[in-house]
A and B are shown apart, each in its own frame.
Chain A
Amino acid sequence: MSSFVWRRLWSMVPTLVGITIVTFILIQLAPGDPVTIELEGGMRAGSVSARVVEDFRHAFFLDLPLLVNLHPMDVEQRVDRRVADLGHSRRRAEAITRLQGIGGAALPYLIPRIEGTDGDIHDGVMHALAGIAERIGMESELASASQAEVFWREYWDVYRLDYTPGRAHRLVRRLVRRDDPLARAELRRLDTYAYTPLIEALDQGLDAEQTTRIITMLRQVRRSGPTVNADDDESARADTVSAWQEWWRRERSRYEPLGRAGRITAVVTETQYAKWLGRVATLSFGVSQRDGRPIMAKLAEKLPVTILLSILSVLMAYGLAIPLGLRSALRRGAWSDRVTTLVLFFIYSLPVFWTATVLIQGVCGVSGPAIFPLGGLVSDGAEQWSWWRRGLDLAHHLVLPVVCLSYVSLAVLSRYQRGAMLEVLAQDYVRTARAKGLSRFRVIVHHALRNALLPVVTLLGLQLPYMISGAVIVERIFNIPGMGLETFEAIRSHDYNWIMAVVTLTGVLTMLGILASDIVYAWLDPRVRLDGLDEGEAT
């Protein structure tokens, strides 16, 4: 048994890779050319702005090569490229702005360029350096061009050692320990060079005050970005921290050098696919473009609702399907069997969204009696009620959604149950049991039922994809704040981060569901685990 489980787990690896590849292809399909999106968006609700598309391109690193990056860029190469651009009169202005934008992290590569360059490039470097001096609050030292050269040379003699990872880390540690104005001033001078240790510090289990201190420092350097307020609670602070980490994940290659080993691995890692793989592996899907909250936090809130709905629906489907199917099989050919089969067949063809619409109109008080609430999960003012009354209220709200989500499964499952039972009843061992003179009850329950339940129970894993799909429709119609409704809204407002996260996670979840049902099947039926993994070769 364990060898089967291991083999099956191993076969999951290529599937997982496949899932990331398919989702990666989806990213490529996504918004395309901002201009067409703009045009098309104008005609639809929730149009896409150029900013959203830019965000998307940035978040998914769409400016990197797909699979292999022969020229990975780090801060050093960015500086080199911009310095080279300084020689071109047309690109000069932009190069200066970009160099100044890199800030303190550019100094280790920019200051040495004062020597050995002349003419336009030299002027440009000095120009950029002047901008950086302004950023780090040293503009007063630079009165004239000749003074500036001397100033930077001296500055670099004195402070060169500050622009090393060890020193920067030490400064940040000091700031974490206490609100040290000296450390703050020095970090201010390091400017963007301090990003790496500051962001890393956020990960080290700081308390509220320390987090606030680090984020204030980060905001001083970046001059914008999410902030924490004194009255923020734990989760709001966590949201801010993850927003910063998300920002850093996108931006770090602008400020960090790769190093020698990093340069080699970057051929693979600094690519769109590797970045996507990294996101999936660390479950860092970023923040929702709809409300700025981290995707994982939102999922943690929405997923339980959908899971509750699905579990109740699956339970209801099985709870009704098994007895119905068995009954039909035992009374095969009787009119009750025929009616059940026919009704289930029709039910199977009823579109869920139509049934749900009719139910809303019929029994939710729109144009009929208000037996059930119109939607949502809780009534207004339910917070003050006692727990059992809230439970009843929840159940009341869940009746119609669960009915809508379960009836198709019910029809399918009871058909299977009927078929399985009929097949088992025709087996020789059932005839033998009957011939031995066992009671009808004993034959049915002990000999037939156990074998007839097997194929139906193993269908459990396959209910998961259906439930996920159905949840979108049902949650949309009944306005239930779960994953399905959120996905619907995300698609409407082009929240690509949410869509990508959800499509990846549902893929992984479904795969795990199928895996679980395979393992259960193998556990229940020894024939499966003794055969090969591929069912086709076994037949």
Chain B
Amino acid sequence: MTILHREWLRPPSWLRRFGQGLRRRREGGVALVTVALMALVAVGADFLAAERPILLERDGRLYLLANVFDYDELRDLDNGSICGEMREGDWALLPPVPYGPFQSRVGGWVQPLEPPDRDHLAGTDDRGRDVLARLIHGTRVSLSVGFVAVFLYAMLGVLLGGSAGYYGGGIDHAVNRCIEVMMAFPAFFFILTVQGLMGSTTVIQLVVVIGLTRWTDVARLVRAEVLRVRAMDYVLAARAVGLTEWRILTDHVLPNSLGPVWVTCTFGVAAAVLTESALSFLGFGTPPPTPSWGELLTQAYENPQAWWLTLFPGVVLFSTVTAFNVLGEVIRDMIDPRLPQVT
């Protein structure tokens, strides 16, 4: 006699399926590690590259986290001058890259456009700022633009596409027209002109502009999926049991429609990171002096002899974009196992 355990009927969890997907495609692991590292760098940017020490004992006073907080006494000092004025009993814990992203000393002991050496592992840019420090802090800008913009448009897309697919009728019509209109504008070109019209003032503005432009893909996907799921028997069953419309939508229709959204969003982060850096490259992305990969590449374009300005930001940008694209593929395989032979 066989006993049916509830556990056997339950589908494998998301995490489990993701693990299986990773095992099938080895490069997925590399991508995941890359993304995790990038996220760590973004979160801990202040501890990796900062103008002042993380811990500092000076004149008998202990300064905690001087890299994050501003102390009045240390305002005019940086790692270099602090270490230069060390007295008996003073000590400091410096971040691995002892320069801030804005720290610039043209004409001082830091020269503009200095090739990589022991002091500056990735050289300096045209204002004498440490390239590595700017790369590290640029990671924070790029990833947050990528994630927040995608989050924004995923929300918008699910909301609009979901209600279009579920309620149909006039809403569906209106949303479809909106999608058609937004798709008529070449996305990057449109974002560029909007940035140009409004002027690049804040990073938040850039995020909102990307978010409001790129929601159409998600909305189309969700709409089609909701249309498919709505016709399923289990939705009919849920209705027969007497669940409220809201409950059916949130508990049964949406969870089963959102699979493809994860794929689009993962690719979307790569696209948003690329958009941000391309805009910054053209000078209409993040406002200066925000550290940004694209901005470093502008300098590379203007100073062709400075190979380190081309190489390092390029490698970082390329690996981030590739990592998110690979991850997107892994997630797609996981959601639709029929597809892997296609790729």
Contact = CB atoms under 8 A, between A and B. Distances in A.
Given A361-B304, A503-B190, A506-B186, A30 B198 contact: yes
Main secondary structure of the interface of A (DSSP, over half): helix
Contact of B223 (A30, A31, A465, A536): A536
B297 A502 contact: no
A508 interface: yes
Given A26-B197, A346-B322, A358-B310, A353 B189 contact: no
Interface in B173-232: 176-178, 180-190, 192-199, 201, 220, 223-224, 227-228
Contacts of B190: 503, 506
Contacts of A345: 322, 325-326
Contacts, number: 162
Contact of A507 (B185, B197, B294, B343): B185
Given A349-B270, A536-B224, A537-B227, A19 B184 contact: yes
A508 B183 CA distance: 11
Among B228, B278, B284, residue most surrounded by chain A Cβ atoms (within 10 Å): B278
Contact of B228 (A19, A361, A423, A539): A539
Interface residues of B, number: 56
Given A354-B297, A361-B304, A367-B305, A15 B227 contact: no
Contacts of B322: 345-346, 349
Contact of A419 (B224, B274, B284, B342): B342
A351 B193 CA distance: 20
A352 interface: yes
A369 to B, nearest CB: 14
A468 B189 contact: yes
B184 A469 contact: no
B321 interface: yes
Contacts of B250: none
Contacts of B195: 491
Contact of A353 (B185, B228, B297, B326): B297
A15 B180 contact: yes
B314 interface: yes
A163 interface: no
A360 interface: yes
B260 interface: no
Among B185, B228, B270, residue most surrounded by chain A Cβ atoms (within 10 Å): B185
A472 B282 contact: yes
Interface string A483-503: 000011011100010010011
Contacts of A248: none
A168 B5 CA distance: 96
A17 B199 CA distance: 26
Contact of A488 (B186, B282, B342): B282
A466 interface: yes
A83 interface: no
A340 interface: no
A476 interface: yes
Nearest to B199: A40
B50 interface: no
Among B180, B223, B227, B228, residue most surrounded by chain A Cβ atoms (within 10 Å): B180
A354 B184 contact: no
B181 A18 contact: yes
Given A473-B281, A499-B197, A536-B224, A18 B180 contact: yes
Interface in B304-322: 304-305, 307, 310, 313-314, 317-318, 321-322
B196 A357 contact: no
A350 interface: yes
A135 interface: no
Contacts of A466: 186
Contacts of B301: 353, 357, 360, 477
A508 B184 contact: yes
B176 A534 contact: yes
B79 to A, nearest CB: 28
A352 B188 CA distance: 13
Contact of B197 (A29, A348, A360, A514): A29
A354 B321 CA distance: 13
A15 B307 contact: no
Nearest to A499: B193
B124 interface: no
Nearest to B183: A514
Nearest to A419: B342
A350 B318 contact: yes
B272 interface: no
B325 to A, nearest CB: 5
A418 B342 contact: yes
B177 A473 contact: no
B101 interface: no
Given A353-B297, A419-B342, A499-B193, A40 B325 contact: no
B184 A44 contact: no
B341 interface: yes
A423 B326 CA distance: 22
Contact of B185 (A346, A348, A503): A503
Contacts of B182: 22
Contacts of A14: 177, 180
Nearest to B270: A349
B164 to A, nearest CB: 9
Contacts of A21: 181
A199 interface: no
B189 A472 contact: yes
B177 A476 contact: no
Contact of A469 (B186, B194, B277, B284): B186
A388 B319 CA distance: 43
A496 B198 CA distance: 11
Contact of A22 (B176, B181, B199): B181
Interface string B266-278: 0000100010011
Given A499-B193, A507-B185, A511-B184, A473 B199 contact: no
A8 to B, nearest CB: 11
B48 interface: no
12 contacts: A351-B278, A351-B318, A357-B297, A367-B305, A469-B187, A469-B188, A491-B192, A491-B197, A499-B196, A503-B185, A514-B184, A534-B176
Given A22-B185, A472-B192, A491-B196, 11 more contacts: A29-B197, A341-B343, A349-B322, A352-B278, A353-B278, A354-B318, A367-B307, A422-B342, A465-B185, A491-B192, A507-B184
4 nearest CB pairs, A to B: A491-B196, A18-B181, A465-B186, A469-B188
